[in-house]
Structure 1
Amino acid sequence: MVDPMATENSRTPAPSGELAGRRAVVTGGSRGIGAAIARDLLDAGAHVVISARGEAPDAPPGAAFVPADLSTRDGVRHFADTARELLGGVDIIVNNAGGCRSFQSVLELENDWQYTMDINFLAAVRLNAALVPVMREHGGVVVHVSSIATVAAYPNLLHYAAAKSALETYSKGLSAELAPDGIRVVSVCLGNVETPASKTARTRIVELHGGDADDLTGQWAAEIPLGRLGDPRDIADAVRFLVSPRASWITGSNIVIDGGKTASLC
């Protein structure tokens, strides 16, 4: 059997400087997957601006940080205007901000539907509306971060799944509209990745439904054919490729990155 940790640690370095001078925005870029993406883009030579709702003590060095609540129209507008001013233009947009606050029956989620749609779907729609026109003169890449919840239909995450499903449909349609302008649009559909947010989620699930957080972690890993939870670097590596010239003929695609968990569903 292949050692999953050995596979994780044997990464092939990507070309250095392949994104030199490119200007990128990464939402939710202060920790976890967003921070890993921002760090990879910086390593590749890009200039990066990130957003987060609060403080960002773990933000990647070298990235400009703009505090903004992207679940609101005003927060998106503030971030878009500030990022454009800092960068002088935009070549790459990574819509990574997302998540959910509740893990309950869909019948008990009335108060969380709007927030979940705002942060997981409408934040991307609004940010793209503000920044994509800047790309029309020279092309660019838009990446949407989605979830396998869209196909797995987890009972306690249907509001989140619905928002991410809307994001994926929007992403495909946007790719067709923007292709003539040389702008590529892709989405990445993620499985269980070990991040601060996922640890918090497990704790809240256990509080609501009982059990043990460590047992739940083991259960999630056991359901993945490659034998481990994802690492944020797994996602960052893929996104770095997708926004690079090496992926110049990829648009409208939804790339599943989940260790094989949904291979029979997608």
Structure 2
Amino acid sequence: MNQSLKGKVALVTGGTKGIGKAIADKLGNCGVEVIVVARTKPKDNINKHYFIPADLAQAESAGIIAKEIIDTYGKIDIIVNNAGANLTPKGGYSVLSDKDWDNELQLNLMAAVRINRALLPFMIEQENGVIINISMNPAKQPIWDTTMAYSAAKAALNAYGKALATEVGSKGIRVNTVSPGLVKTPQMEKYIHKMVESSPVTEEEAMKSLMDKVGYIPLGRAAEPEEIADMVKFLVSPEAKYITGAVYQVDGGALAVV
């Protein structure tokens, strides 16, 4: 699999930390030329990925990114739309303003839509390419007081990915969605740290509380970012050449639906 990806060119949005960094590093270790996009340049770029600064919530960013990629590399083989975040306040429907809803949709849905729209013509011209959209379990299991708008945006991303896969499959492009559950990212570690600081609980108790909130995890732990990257690595490889239009849960068995 490592050799089969050598020489490919991949874009990973939100690729400087957490799941995105794990994906970028995993692909880079397979010989892929990796471009990462984020608002802030990472302090340490050990693998020396090509970096493009951009705020993907801004509509004009996608065209600027696409132009720089094509001007620099002349092609694009893999797109991983990983950028996303749950930005809205807690409290349910009554506390969510139109601006809150728009923020969630811009970052968690429209950023991927615009990146794909800007780069798909080049994939179609070369009659080959793979797109991976990174969703999250709340798309199928929303939590009313914390993920209402985020869940709606990610659910829309799932539906968009399926529709896009149907449209571009005959043109040699595969589109799949990877949907993690609880993952040990810097953002999650920060959340755990805040819980420990604000209440008399240990780190282990805080983690258990978080796991209980997202639901029972049969494997009994959160995922490492590298475990999400492993699924992405497989799906972008020729070994997955007959897989498209699918949503893969990588959640330790947490999602309580078939």
Q: TM-score, normalised by structure 2?
A: 0.90
Report Cα offsets for 1:93-148 as digits up to 9, x if no partner. 00000002234123212132111111110000000000011001221000000010
Which ranges of structure 1 fall in alignment gaps of 5 or more residues?
1-14
Does structure 1 residue 184 correspond to structure 2 residue 170?
Answer: no
Does structure 1 residue 108 correspond to structure 2 residue 95?
Answer: yes
Distance 1:154 1:213, change over 3 A: farther
Report Cα offsets for 1:175-217 as digits up to 9, x if no partner. 0000010100000111000001222344567899997765331
Match in the other structure for 2:130: 141
Q: Tell me the SS of whatever aligns to 2:140.
A: helix
Partner Cα distance (1:84, 1:35) in 2: 22
Match in the other structure for 2:227: 234
Contact 1:51–1:66 (Cα < 8 Å) also in 2: yes
Partner Cα distance (1:221, 1:204) in 2: 16
Does structure 1 residue 71 correspond to structure 2 residue 57?
Answer: yes
Match in the other structure for 1:265: 257
Partner Cα distance (2:194, 2:154) in 1: 21
- 1:35-184 mapped onto 2 (5 Å cutoff): 35-106=21-92, 107-110=94-97, 111-138=99-126, 139-155=128-144, 156-184=146-174
How high is the sequence identity, in percent, across the aligned residues? 37
Partner Cα distance (1:209, 1:250) in 2: 46
Match in the other structure for 1:31: 17
26-35 or 96-105: bigger deviation: 96-105
Partner Cα distance (2:74, 2:185) in 1: 32
Contact 2:184–2:225 (Cα < 8 Å) also in 1: yes
Partner Cα distance (2:231, 2:241) in 1: 14
200-209 or 242-251: bigger deviation: 200-209
Partner Cα distance (2:202, 2:140) in 1: 26
Q: Which amino acid aligns with 1:247?
A: A
Distance 1:210 1:126, change over 3 A: farther
Partner Cα distance (2:189, 2:96) in 1: 21
Does structure 1 residue 247 correspond to structure 2 residue 240?
Answer: yes
Q: CA deviation at 1:224?
A: 1.2
Partner Cα distance (1:210, 1:186) in 2: 42
Q: Which amino acid aligns with 1:265?
A: V
Distance 1:45 1:251, change over 3 A: same
Aligned residues: 251
Q: CA deviation at 1:226?
A: 0.6
Q: Tell me the SS of whatever aligns to 1:69.
A: coil
98-107 or 84-93: bigger deviation: 98-107
Partner Cα distance (1:80, 1:170) in 2: 20
Partner Cα distance (1:201, 1:80) in 2: 34
Equivalent of residue 249 in structure 2, options 236, 244, 256: 256
Q: Which amino acid aligns with 1:258?
A: D
Contact 2:135–2:179 (Cα < 8 Å) also in 1: yes
212-221 or 190-199: bigger deviation: 212-221
Q: Tell me the SS of whatever aligns to 2:139.
A: helix
Q: CA deviation at 1:76?
A: 2.3
Distance 1:209 1:157, change over 3 A: farther
Partner Cα distance (1:246, 1:103) in 2: 41
Partner Cα distance (2:41, 2:157) in 1: 27
Contact 1:31–1:59 (Cα < 8 Å) also in 2: no
